[in-house]
């Protein structure tokens, strides 16, 4: 059965529909050796290339996307490859036969916690897009004295190099001595935004953990460097949040020994 090119590629995990449409306009995609045009439909027998490289579109209409929680430890990059050979989150995700893993946003090298990864490009795009204002919650340990006026400024808005930023909420989570914990919520994903907001007030973040993304929270039982498939209720809530139809079921996890639920791939 023929389907729109951008729908087929997004479902197979190659990007969001909007991103794929941009690639089509830029002449980066060919179908059977000819430049693709917006609106073109393709079938399983067509040869599709992005930037000259053949891509798999094996995920058909009945294929089910898979979405995981990965507990990222500090000291890993949220990138597919690193020229310096440093470890990446993709080193520890299960192997999949079709499509590819897409990280929903990034966590910097020294930040740990919840990272959503999915094979559904459209889901990833919507969850990251600022227009959906998906909440990200972090536990942050701050070194230094934090007065009420600082907390007020951080919630009213601070001008950073790339525009105005603010926490949607700040909750005191306790602590002793020079270090104090707060739970903060953002509704956008600027680069290193949590750290830069605190640093704008002359304060140093000594530890940063993402504990929630939208309706999905980091399970207490999931150790750093491990992953698990979302529960059905979590999956439905995630898709409903960005007005997408949730898959009836998750794709089946890999067999034991090749990256099973809750384990670390070696």
Instruction: Provide CB contacts within 8 A for 223, sequence distance 6+.
Output: 71
Q: What does the alpha-carbon distance between residue 62 and residue 58 come to, in Å, rounded to a whole number?
A: 10
**Ramachandran angles phi, psi of 7, nearest 5°:** -70, -45
Q: Which of 26, 108, 161, 162 is catalytic?
A: 108
Two structure tokens written together for 185: 């919520």
Hey, what's the torsion of the CAs at 171, 172, 174, 179, to 10 degrees? Answer: 110
Q: In 3D, which of 105, 99, 134, 117 has the Cα closest to residue 214? A: 134
108 catalytic, yes or no?
Answer: yes
Instruction: Provide CB contacts within 8 A for 90, sequence distance 6+.
Output: 79, 80, 101
Q: What does the alpha-carbon distance between residue 193 and residue 160 come to, in Å, rounded to a whole number?
A: 9
For residue 13, the 8-state DSSP code is T
Measured CA distances, 245 to 4, 66, 240, 241, 265 (Å): 18, 14, 7, 10, 30
Instruction: Provide CB contacts within 8 A for 255, sequence distance 6+.
Output: none
* ∠ Cα 250 188 149 (to 5°): 135
**Residue 33, beta-bridge partner list:** none
**What stretch of H or E contains 198?**
helix 193-199
CA 16 to chain centre: 13
Residues noted as catalytic = 108
């Amino acid at each position: 059965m023929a389907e729109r090119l951008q729908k087929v590629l997004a479902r197979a995990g190659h990007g969001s529909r909007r991103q794929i449409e941009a690639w089509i306009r830029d002449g980066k995609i060919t179908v059977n050796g000819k430049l693709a045009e917006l609106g073109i439909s393709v079938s399983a027998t067509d040869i599709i290339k992005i930037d000259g490289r053949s891509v798999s579109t094996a995920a058909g209409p009945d294929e089910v996307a898979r979405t995981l929680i990965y507990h990222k430890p500090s000291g890993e990059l949220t990138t597919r490859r690193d020229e310096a050979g440093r470890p990446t989150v993709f080193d520890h995700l299960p192997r999949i036969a079709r499509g590819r893993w897409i990280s929903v946003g990034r966590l910097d090298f020294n930040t740990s916690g919840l990272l959503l990864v999915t094979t559904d490009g459209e889901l990833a795009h919507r969850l990251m897009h600022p227009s959906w204002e998906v909440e990200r919650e972090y536990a942050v340990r701050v070194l230094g004295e934090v007065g009420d006026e600082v907390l007020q400024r951080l919630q009213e808005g601070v001008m950073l190099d790339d525009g105005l930023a603010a926490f949607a909420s700040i909750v005191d989570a306790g602590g002793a001595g020079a270090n104090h914990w707060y739970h903060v919520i953002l509704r956008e994903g600027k680069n290193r935004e949590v750290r830069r907001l605190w640093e704008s007030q002359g304060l140093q973040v000594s530890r940063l953990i993402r504990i929630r993304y939208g309706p999905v929270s980091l399970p207490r039982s999931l150790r750093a460097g491990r992953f698990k498939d979302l529960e059905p209720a979590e999956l439905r809530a995630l898709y409903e949040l960005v007005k997408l139809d949730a898959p009836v079921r998750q794709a089946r996890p890999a067999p034991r020994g090749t990256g099973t639920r809750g384990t670390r791939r070696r």
